[in-house]
Each structure stands twice: as C-alpha cells, then as structure tokens.
Structure 1
Amino acid sequence: MGLSEKEIYAIEVTERLGSVLSLIGTAFIIGTFLYDNAFHKPINRLVFYASWGNIMANVGTLISRSGIDLGVNQPLCQFQAFLIQMFMPADALWTLAMACNVYLTFFRKYNAQQLRALEWKYMIFCYGLPFLPAFAYFFVQSPAPSKVYGSATLWCWVTREWNFLRVATFYGPVWVVIAITFTIYLWAGKEIFAKRRQLRNFANAASDVAFPVIQNPFISPFVSVKTTEIRITSELADLPGKNGGTHCFALNERGRIISTQSFNPYSVSVGAAPGTDITSPQSAPFPRSSNPMGLGADKNASQIKAAMEANKAAFSYCKCALLFFASLLITWVPSSINRVHSLVHPDVFCFPLLFISALVLPLQGFWNAVIYIATSLPACRALFSQILDYWAPSRKTKSSSPYSHSISPKRSIRSSADSTKSFPYTGI
C-alpha cells in the first residue's frame, strides 16, 4: 500500500521545516563560537565540530523527495543518499565523543589542554568511520543490477532491496553508540551523587577530613587554583590595628584566607605592580598570621560552600545529561521503530511512522543548539545583553571599576589578580 499525494506533501513540508529549524540552531552555534571565546568550553567545541556534519545532513534532508522525483540514478539522488548515510550517524558518534570527555574529565582528571589534544582523533573517528560505507555504496551493485542508493520513501538513501545494510551500517552502530553513551552518563552520575552525599555529610559534621572533589564535567574540567590578594583600607573603627591601617588578605579559590598583612595607609604608592608590597621604607609590615579570622569560622564557611558547589554540580549534570538522553531518544527511537516495521512488513508503508521519522531526523542540529545553550547560559546572557545594548543605546550605563564605585574614600578594595579570573564550575 503506497502513500497518497497529501501524505507525500506533508512529509516533504515536515522534512524541510525541521531542516530549516536545525540550520538556524547550527548557525547560532557556529556564529557564537567564532565570535566569543566565552563559548569555548570543551563540550561546546565538540558541539561546534558536530554542527558542520549537521549542516551537511540538513542539506540532504532539505532536498527531501526531489532526488527521487528526478530519478534514483541521477547525481542529485546519489549525492543526497551519501550525505544522509555519512552525516546522520556522525551526530551520534559526536555524542559519544562528548561522553568520552565526561569520562576523561571525571575519572581520569583530564584538563582542557589534554581534551583539546584529542579533538583530531574525534574528528577522524566521527567523520572517517561513517565515510567508509557511505563511499563504498557508490560502487556496490547486485546482479540485477540494483544500486545500493535509491528511493527510501522519505528521501534517497539505501533502498529496500538492501534493507540489511540499513541495520548493519546505520541503525545497528547508532544503537551501540547510544548504549555506550548512556552507560558513561549513568556511571558518571552515580559517582557525582555519591560524592555529593559525602560532601553533605562532611558539611554537617565537624571533621578535619578533606572534602572530596566534585567536578561537573559539562562545565569546567578542573580549573587550576589561583591566589587572589585583596587589600582593604579602613579606619580604626573598621578593623583592629594600631592607628588604623591597610590590611592585606590573600585568598585562595575556595575563599579561604591563607595570609594577612597590615600596612600604613599613608604610604600607598599608586601604580605599583600587582603582588608587590606597597609600603614606604619608613613603615614595616606587621607579621603575617596564618588564620586571622579563626579556624572555626573559616572551616564552617568552606563546608557550606562545598555543599553548595556539590548541589550546583549535581543539578547542572542532571540537566545536561537529561538533554542528551532526550535528544538521542527523540531522534532515534521513532525512526528505529519505523525501520523494524519495514523489516517485518517490507511492502507496507505506515504513514504515522514515516511522518514522525521525517519530523525528528532532521532536528539533530536543533537539539545540539539546545545542549549548547544549556551548557553556556552565562555566556548567552552576556551576549544577549550586548545585543540589547547595541540596539537600545539608552540601556547603556557608564562602565566603572567594580571596586571603585559606591565605596567611601576611607574604605577601598584593590585586587592584584585579574578581574576575569576563573572559578570552578564556571567554564573555561
């Protein structure tokens, strides 16, 4: 039983609308990645590389049934079939590469540089592996003769006569990749929530045991710890000290005060190099103290912060992992059911299954854009704010130093570190 003209028209419109929506998503990914370094996190770099394959797959889905109408032996049909055979499964392989980054970050402690060194291998794996059968199908023929590429109802692809190749070189490998990807995410999620429970237990108990490190593999692969020096000038009433003074605190990334130092407020020299002692020869600094604020208060603050970071990492991991799960399942479950149906009933066309497959398969680029945005929300907000400021100049406000406004002359804060220093869980 064939399809009616209305059903064929509905399939063509659905394929092209989904392709356009996906191309908009990939355009956003490529444009923002090239424009702003804030989007250059390892997980986003892989989404960026996958987007080029999404574009090529969408070129094939945009052709829709036009290749079939012109003739299955014509170059357009053969070209469309090649694009779909090569670039549609490549998207699932890139998802596996992202899962590998999660594994290497969380279990092998890879940093951003080590992950970036693997990208050329991911490129060969994700695009080179599907290329082999896609190219070989140009030269394979049955005794009939019948080419592998031809009409596949939705578009030009592997014909029904070669149905076993659809499973052997397309759907079968894709589902193996999905199973491995799910296993990695579930394994990493189990470890993240186990460490989250440990952190909560440590936060509730007064223990000197070191906190277990919990790292969100989607956000920031082990940013190195830096030391930031903050100098606070105050009056005698603000901080205890003889005749007032400048009190210098050195803080690490977790907010711990690791040292303090006091200076004469009248001997500060403007323009001194960061990290140097800003004192006059006449005023010697007071001795350093390793814990001026008290061990108990510092420890409680660290416990609270550790528990908060654990909750934040666990929530962010769940959000990103669920998006990956949803994108893979929505893309491949309906089309796989349709493929099984075609194997069992090779001469029957099920319009609902064909229509759903035509709807979900072209949306790979759209789902990648959703994941890309979800892992880059701060950068997206900043970019959106810049766009609004550009198109609405009245929104612009005079920029000023974050430490200079609304601070009285008797109290000022200076930082010897760059204002754009990296914190854990904020991205690379």
Structure 2
Amino acid sequence: MSLSEGQLLAISIAERTCSAVSLLSAGAAVLTFLTWKAFRTPINRLIFYALCGNIVLNIATLISKSGVDHGVGSPLCSFQAFLIQWLFPADALWALCIAWNVYLRFFYRYDSKQLRRLEWKYVLFCYVMPFIPALTLLFIRTRSRGRVYGSGLFECWIALSWDSLRIALLYGPVWLVIAVITIIYTRVGLYIYSHLKHLRALGMTGDWTEDVNRIADASTTEMHEMTSTPFRAYHGHSQADETSASRQQTSSTHSINRRARELVRVGSDSNMAAWAYARYSFLFFIALLVTWVPSTINRLSTLINPQYLSFGMNYAAAFVIPLQGFWNSVIYFTISRREFKALSGHRETSQSNSARIFHLGH
C-alpha cells in the first residue's frame, strides 16, 4: 500500500505552509528578543534558544518531499535527514531544561543569575548531544539495507528499512524525556498544593496584600501588649517616662510593620514569580505533547504493522512537526505581554513628546 501523488502533494503543501508560518512567527520572536533587553527574562532566554533550533529545523521541513524527489543518495536528501534527526528532538530537550529550571526555582531558590549560569550547559545538552548521533548516521550503510538516511515517505529521514533506529534514536529517548518532565511537574504541583493548603491552614486567603496587613496588625497587637502592661503595673512613673515609652512603642510598632510587610512582600514576590515561571513552562510542555503525539502514534502503527499506511496520520504528523517554532513563539509572546504593553506605552509617550515639540516649534 502506498500514498497517491495527490496525497503526497497535499502532505507537502501542509508541511511547507506550516513551516512558513512557523518561520515567520519564530523570526518575529527572535527579533524582539535581540532588539529589546526587556524581553530577556529567564524563561524567554531558553525559549529563544529553542526557537533558534526551530528555525533551522524549518529549513528542513520546507524542503519537504523535494529531498526524496532528488534521490535518496543526493546531498539535499542527506542534508534534510541530518537536520531532522539533529533538531527534531532538541525541542523536547529544551522543555526538559525549562522544567529543570522550575525545579531549581522552587526547591533550591535559584535566582535569575544562577539560572543564567546554567545556559551554556543547556546549549551543549540540547544541541551538541543530539548532533553526534545525527552526524554519525550520515556514514552508516549496509549492503542489505543501504544508507541509514533515505526516504521517510514525504521527506528524507531515517529510511524505512532502518525503522527500528527511529524508535531507538528518536522516539524512545524523547518519550523518556517527556516522562522525566512529567515527574518534575508532578513534584512541583504537589509542592504548590501543599503550600496552598498550609496557607489556608494559617488563615491566609491567597490575597498577599490582605495577608501582609493581617501579619502587621497581629505584630502591632503583640507589641502593644508587650509595652503597655509594665506601665499599667507601675503607678509611680512620670509623665516624661510615659511620653518616652509611647514614642518608643510607636517607633517599634512602625518597625515591626515595615519588617512584616517586607517579609511577606519578598516571600510573595518570590513565590509568585516562581509560580508564573512554572505556569508558562507547563505551556511549553503542552506544546511538546501536541507536536509528538500524532507523530508517535503514526510511527508505532508502522512499527507494529509495516504494511500500515495512513494518509490521515501522515498528514497530521506533517502538519504538527513544523509548528514547533509557532507554538514556542506563541508562548514567548504570551509571556511577554507586559513587555509589549510597556514598549507600546513608551512609543506613545515618545510620539506625544515629539508632537508637542513640533507644535511648540511652530
């Protein structure tokens, strides 16, 4: 059983269209990151690195079935297959790095500077590690099965005669990574749940402003009791002593209020930042699943039954695989809403000032 020329053409059109959309959106995200420093937040930095790989992968997916049409032994076919094997799994590895950052922020209190020092290691892990097997496969061939890189139906990749390598060198490792990511987010989710449960037990509502005021009020009451009781017991104190004690009490109360508010503010800022990081990181993980589930189902089906060939499943795989850059850029722009608003406000202010200067000058 094989796909018709019309079906292959439809798959190729879908793959190239999605590749073009992904390239445009990823390119826009990369441009804003390189242009404005405000966009270079810890999670955006990792998404930026992932987007660079997505852009290069889209070069391979734009080639689509032209690699196969040029012949499985052609340089174009080998180039396309190499890029797919190298950069297709990189997105999953970046998702793991982002999840690991979430783990470090929650359980080891890593700040932005500490996370940034890990980035060069992440680059080696996500790009250098998969580069080695991808390059090695270029030089492997046997008499019975031929070259490893060859026709993958609608594009050049690992040839169907080497189908087991697809599981061993791509799908197997990627789903192992997905399992590890799932464990990390489950652990973080349980931590968040227990933390919120603890806050409720303490009577905190989750409204950090209200919690600050409650702690400050409690501290004030405690301080008042500590300072007023001794003076009520001693009747022979002078008016000057009472005035001095009152001033000390007021000063101490203000000090406690400041410390209580600062303590809760710092703690809440840290927690809220970590929780926001986790929430957006989880979106990256969801995008990863959207990319890999259709392709994996299709691959397992052909592994179980080599004669099985589904136009629908191949079309779905060709549709979602090139969109890695698109989904990552959507997450990038979602995370950067505040930065875009600030940038838009800055431009409006600049235009207003320019108009005012022009008006005054005339």
TM-score scaled by structure 2? 0.78
Q: How does 1:242-391 map to 2 (within 5 A)?
A: 289-292=251-254, 316=276, 319-386=279-346
Higher strand share: 1
Query: Match for residue 241 of structure 1?
Result: none
* Contact persistence 1:334–1:353 (CA under 8 A): yes
Q: Against the structure 1 CA distance between its residues 93 and 291, is the aligned structure 2 distance closer, same or farther, given a 3 Å change threshold?
A: same
* Structure 2: distance between partners of 1:395 and 1:364: 41
**What do residues 34-60 of structure 1 show as CA deviations (whole Å, max 9, x unaligned)?**
111111111111111111111111000
* Structure 1: distance between partners of 2:38 and 2:190: 29
Query: Match for residue 420 of structure 1?
Result: none
Amino acid at match of 1:289: S
* Contact persistence 1:68–1:77 (CA under 8 A): yes
Q: Against the structure 1 CA distance between its residues 5 and 56, is the aligned structure 2 distance closer, same or farther, given a 3 Å change threshold?
A: same
In angstroms, what is the RMSD of aligned CA positions?
3.3
Q: Which runs of 5+ in 1 are unaligned?
A: 206-210, 212-253, 255-285, 400-428
**What do residues 372-397 of structure 1 show as CA deviations (whole Å, max 9, x unaligned)?**
1232221122234456678xx46989
Amino acid at match of 2:331: I
Which segment is superposed worse, 378-387 or 145-154? 378-387
Give the deviation of 1:175 after TM superposition: 0.4
Query: Match for residue 197 of structure 2?
Result: 197
* Structure 2: distance between partners of 1:317 and 1:346: 43
Query: Match for residue 164 of structure 2?
Result: 164
Q: Which runs of 5+ in 2 are unaligned?
A: 206-210, 217-246, 358-362
* Contact persistence 1:202–1:303 (CA under 8 A): no
* Contact persistence 2:102–2:277 (CA under 8 A): no
Amino acid at match of 1:20: A
Amino acid at match of 2:301: H
Query: Match for residue 87 of structure 1?
Result: 87
* Contact persistence 1:199–1:310 (CA under 8 A): no
Q: Against the structure 1 CA distance between its residues 63 and 387, is the aligned structure 2 distance closer, same or farther, given a 3 Å change threshold?
A: farther
Query: Secondary structure of 1:157's partner?
Result: strand
TM-score scaled by structure 1? 0.67
Give the deviation of 1:352 after TM superposition: 0.5
Q: Against the structure 1 CA distance between its residues 293 and 126, is the aligned structure 2 distance closer, same or farther, given a 3 Å change threshold?
A: closer
Q: Against the structure 1 CA distance between its residues 395 and 100, is the aligned structure 2 distance closer, same or farther, given a 3 Å change threshold?
A: same
Amino acid at match of 1:348: Y
Query: Secondary structure of 2:120's partner?
Result: helix
* Contact persistence 1:196–1:311 (CA under 8 A): no
* Structure 2: distance between partners of 1:311 and 1:133: 40
**What do residues 53-84 of structure 1 show as CA deviations (whole Å, max 9, x unaligned)?**
11111000000000111111100010000000
Query: Secondary structure of 1:291's partner?
Result: helix
* Structure 2: distance between partners of 1:91 and 1:354: 20
Query: Match for residue 67 of structure 1?
Result: 67
* Structure 1: distance between partners of 2:112 and 2:272: 21
Query: Match for residue 96 of structure 1?
Result: 96
**What is the percentage of aligned positions where both structures have the same residue?**
44
Amino acid at match of 1:291: T
**What do residues 395-419 of structure 1 show as CA deviations (whole Å, max 9, x unaligned)?**
98979xxxxxxxxxxxxxxxxxxxx
* Contact persistence 1:203–1:304 (CA under 8 A): no
**What do residues 297-320 of structure 1 show as CA deviations (whole Å, max 9, x unaligned)?**
996x78997998699568746742
Q: Against the structure 1 CA distance between its residues 144 and 343, is the aligned structure 2 distance closer, same or farther, given a 3 Å change threshold?
A: same
Query: Match for residue 220 of structure 1?
Result: none
Q: Against the structure 1 CA distance between its residues 195 and 138, is the aligned structure 2 distance closer, same or farther, given a 3 Å change threshold?
A: same
**What do residues 246-290 of structure 1 show as CA deviations (whole Å, max 9, x unaligned)?**
xxxxxxxx9xxxxxxxxxxxxxxxxxxxxxxxxxxxxxxx99924
Give the deviation of 1:95 after TM superposition: 0.8
Q: How does 1:123-162 map to 2 (within 5 A)?
A: 123-144=123-144, 146-162=146-162
**What do residues 160-210 of structure 1 show as CA deviations (whole Å, max 9, x unaligned)?**
1000100000000000111111111121122123212323333449xxxxx
Are residue 14 (structure 1) and residue 14 (structure 2) matched? yes
* Contact persistence 1:104–1:110 (CA under 8 A): yes
Equivalent residues, number: 319
Q: Against the structure 1 CA distance between its residues 329 and 204, is the aligned structure 2 distance closer, same or farther, given a 3 Å change threshold?
A: closer
Which segment is superposed worse, 22-31 or 159-168? 22-31
Q: How does 1:203-222 map to 2 (within 5 A)?
A: 203-204=203-204
* Contact persistence 1:149–1:158 (CA under 8 A): yes
Query: Secondary structure of 2:154's partner?
Result: coil
**What do residues 338-375 of structure 1 show as CA deviations (whole Å, max 9, x unaligned)?**
00011122133200100000011111111111221232
**What do residues 216-273 of structure 1 show as CA deviations (whole Å, max 9, x unaligned)?**
xxxxxxxxxxxxxxxxxxxxxxxxxxxxxxxxxxxxxx9xxxxxxxxxxxxxxxxxxx
* Contact persistence 2:64–2:155 (CA under 8 A): yes
Q: Against the structure 1 CA distance between its residues 379 and 124, is the aligned structure 2 distance closer, same or farther, given a 3 Å change threshold?
A: same
Which segment is superposed worse, 330-339 or 31-40? 31-40
Which segment is superposed worse, 53-62 or 111-120? 111-120
Give the deviation of 1:322 after TM superposition: 4.2
Which segment is superposed worse, 80-89 or 117-126? 117-126
* Structure 1: distance between partners of 2:183 and 2:259: 39
* Structure 2: distance between partners of 1:92 and 1:338: 18
Query: Match for residue 221 of structure 2?
Result: none
Which segment is superposed worse, 190-199 or 12-21? 190-199
* Contact persistence 1:185–1:321 (CA under 8 A): no
Query: Secondary structure of 1:347's partner?
Result: coil
